[in-house]
């Protein structure tokens, strides 16, 4: 259940913080996780599992869903993340930030079929 919570937080945050094709609306205003392509869903789940399996014992000040959100924010270098000290102590935050950055940045976009895909 904890991994699913982490994945749910990650996916919801991805939609919440990604812009639509017009660039002025966030994807979660128009789309749901059901609109994400199967290949992108699987990619997100694999990425979350890899990070979660390696680091889930490191965050102790938040639940797994919130940590999933922070993973999305941190890997994409948003202005919030593990590094800011809200969820974990400073040393752990730096280590989680480095681990998240290792996954590289990625973006979501709406394809011609109105499904959401991930680049990067």
Extents of the domains making up the chain: 2-119
Higher pLDDT, 114 or 85: 114
Residue-wise pLDDT tens digits, 43-60: 999 999 999 999 998 877
Per-residue confidence (pLDDT) for residue 88, from 0 to 100:
66
**DSSP assignment of the chain:** -HHHHHHHHHHHHHHHH-B-TTSSSBGGGT--GGGB-HHHHHHHHHHHHHHHHHHTTS--SS-HHHHHHHHHHHHTT-S-SGGGSSSS-HHHHHHHHHHHHTT---EEEE-TTS-EEEE-
């Amino acid at each position: 259940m904890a991994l699913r919570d982490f994945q749910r937080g990650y996916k919801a945050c991805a939609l919440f913080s990604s812009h639509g094709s017009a660039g002025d609306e966030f994807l979660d205003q128009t789309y749901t996780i059901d609109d994400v392509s199967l290949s992108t869903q699987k990619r997100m789940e694999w990425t979350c599992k890899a990070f979660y399996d390696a680091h889930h014992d490191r965050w102790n000040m938040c639940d797994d869903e919130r940590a999933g959100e922070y993973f999305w924010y941190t890997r994409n270098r948003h202005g919030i993340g593990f590094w800011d000290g809200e969820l974990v102590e400073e040393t752990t935050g730096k280590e989680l930030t480095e681990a998240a950055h290792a996954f590289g940045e990625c973006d979501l976009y709406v394809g011609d079929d109105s499904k959401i895909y991930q680049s990067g």
